[in-house]
Amino acid sequence: MTARREAVSAPPSLAEIEAAARRVYAAMPPTPQVAWPLLGRRAGAEVWVKHENHTPTGAFKVRGGLNLLAQLAQSPDRPAGVCSATRGNHGQSLAFASARHGLACTIVVPLGNSKSKNAAMRAYGADLVEHGRDFDEARVHAHALAREKGLAFVGPFEPPLVAGVATYALELFRAAEGLDRVYVPIGCGSGICGLIAVRDALGLATKIVGVVSTGANAYAQSFRAGRAIETSAANTMADGMAVRVPVPAALDMILRGAHDVVEVDDDSIQAAMRVLFDDTHQVAEGAGAASLAALLADRDRGRERCAVVLSGGNVDRDVYAKAIAA
């Protein structure tokens, strides 16, 4: 089976990331990174949390949308609008940023998608279309809609998206120096690739560990095999990681720059959601808690100085209530 192709062939440079930061900070402030003592005691290590749940849309993806839409809006070929597919956070990012620049935004989500994420996208002004059994089927439909409506299709791994997302990594590495490991969830790959790009641009030795769900482990299988492997299903309560088809450009960067890609099951993710509430009083969606689940299960790390990326806090109330009640 073949994986889909996206536009990125090389990581963004430090200059590109710093330029993206100026566009991002025109709409939002940097997010905090906090070394929580209760988490550190639980893990037996210093643990920093990068709070991407504190962005205007509640997730890291907004950085990419702000960078991309700022550039599209200033382009001589300014489109009438954009079209994309999402499980929620990418779509919120594009809708939020499109509204700032007066562009139309059509977003395709799979059937049964998060109600709260759907509501947020509509509130930001997106024309929401429900289609397909999962993200990858929604993506195919979004391509067709973009052609039909004359909109610019935005994939999950366009160069301006990756550069924009990388701004969170720049904040983290500059604020928390000397990190031994960073754990980061993988959906389509912009989050981990932003970390890799900044680490390499700054000449750091930090090990970057990608995290996927056991029920949506295409990137873990691909990392072990050294080539793209598409799975037949992506079943996990962590919808931000529910991807069946690796993005080739993202996988290439991960193969070259990640220390490992590990798997955590839904029970471990829900346990990490409870830990984050107990130790930090932060609400995390499944993907946002997956990095902590991986850190707590990692017997190889020893007493290292670590960070986890709390990539978002956009979780439906019934899903969260079930997770923290267990």
Q: Is the pLDDT of residue 3 over 60?
A: no
Q: Is the pLDDT of residue 7 over 80?
A: no
Are 35 and 93 in a shared domain? no
Q: How far apart are CA 138 and CA 91, in angstroms?
A: 12
Query: Per-residue DSSP letters for 237-290?
Result: S-GGG--SS--HHHHHHHHHH-SEEEEE-HHHHHHHHHHHHHHH-----HHHHH
Taking the alpha carbons of 181, 230, 311, 18 in that order, is the dihedral positive or negative?
A: positive
Per-residue pLDDT averaged across 305-324, rounded?
A: 96
Query: Could you tell me if residue 3 is inside a domain?
Result: no
Interval 188-220: pLDDT, tens: 999 999 999 999 999 999 999 999 999 999 999
Predicted pLDDT at 1: 29
Q: How far apart are CA 165 and CA 162, in angstroms?
A: 5
Phi and psi, residue 187, nearest 5°: -105, -90
Q: Which residues contact 181 (CB under 8 A, 6 or more apart)?
A: 206, 207, 208, 209, 259, 295, 298, 301, 304, 305, 306, 307
Are 72 and 199 in a shared domain? no
Q: Is the pLDDT of residue 254 over 80?
A: yes
- What is the residue-averaged pLDDT of the chain? 94
Structural domain for 79, as ranges: 62-153
Per-residue pLDDT averaged across 232-246, rounded?
A: 93
CATH of the domain at 140: 3.40.50.1100
Q: Is the pLDDT of residue 184 over 60?
A: yes
Predicted pLDDT at 282: 98
Q: Is the pLDDT of residue 69 over 70?
A: yes
Per-residue pLDDT averaged across 40-62, rounded?
A: 97
Give me the residue label for tokens 């099951």: 265
Predicted pLDDT at 5: 39
Q: Is the pLDDT of residue 317 over 80?
A: yes
Are 31 and 135 in a shared domain? no
Give the amino acid at 321: A
Indicate the pLDDT class of residue 273, thresholds 50, 70 and 90.
Answer: very high
Predicted pLDDT at 61: 97
* Number of structural domains the chain divides into: 2
Final residue belonging to a domain, choices 122, 153, 184: 153
Predicted pLDDT at 9: 63
Final residue belonging to a domain, choices 153, 177, 193: 153
Give the amino acid at 99: A
Q: Angle, nearest 10°, between helix axes 218-225 and 248-257?
A: 60
Per-residue pLDDT averaged across 246-258, rounded?
A: 97
Predicted pLDDT at 58: 97
Predicted pLDDT at 10: 85
CB 96 within 8 A of CB 56: yes
Indicate the pLDDT class of residue 300, thresholds 50, 70 and 90.
Answer: confident
Q: Is the pLDDT of residue 6 over 60?
A: no
306 strand-pairing partners: 47, 181
Q: Is the pLDDT of residue 247 over 70?
A: yes
Query: Could you tell me if residue 8 is inside a domain?
Result: no
Query: Could you tell me if residue 272 is inside a domain?
Result: yes
